[in-house]
Amino acid sequence: MLPKKVPNPTDKHVGSRVRMRRMMLGMSQEKLGDALDLTFQQVQKYEKGTNRIGASRLQQISHILQVPVSFFFEGAPGAQISGRSDGMAEAPSPAYVSDFLATSDGLALTKAFMRIEDAKLRRRIVDLVEQIASREKR
């Protein structure tokens, strides 16, 4: 029996960013698949990194999801951030942030939090969550 092929980390990352953005827009896999003339199962495979997304397809996805192609590579494993002339790259955003935003709870919490206009209230909510989290560790 052949060992199961493991998806490339970059393909997994790009797929998770597609999923995160699709969910941020409240779009179903089926709706994205229809726009791409694909089945929702193919979209699922892209999002899991099981199937690699080709360049022209990624450009098509970026247009549908209304983000630049570079969005899908932000924080990718081994990615360098361009635009720096001093040869130094900024550290990529931690993977746990995109993992959190790819969950329905993380997305719902983020959307609700961003609707709170009062900056002091937002800060107090962050403080509250940090206190709850520190109690959980004990």
pLDDT tens column, 58-73 = 999 999 999 899 889 8
pTM score above 0.75: no
Other CB atoms closer than 10 Å to residue 47's CB: what's the count?
23
* C-alpha distances out from residue 42 to 17, 22, 35, 57, 136, Å: 16, 14, 12, 12, 39
* C-alpha distances out from residue 82 to 2, 15, 34, 91, Å: 39, 21, 33, 12
Is the sign of the CA dihedral 79, 72, 58, 85 positive or negative?
Answer: negative
pLDDT tens column, 91-106 = 445 566 667 777 778 8
Residue pair 73/79 in contact (Cβ under 8 Å)? The answer is: yes
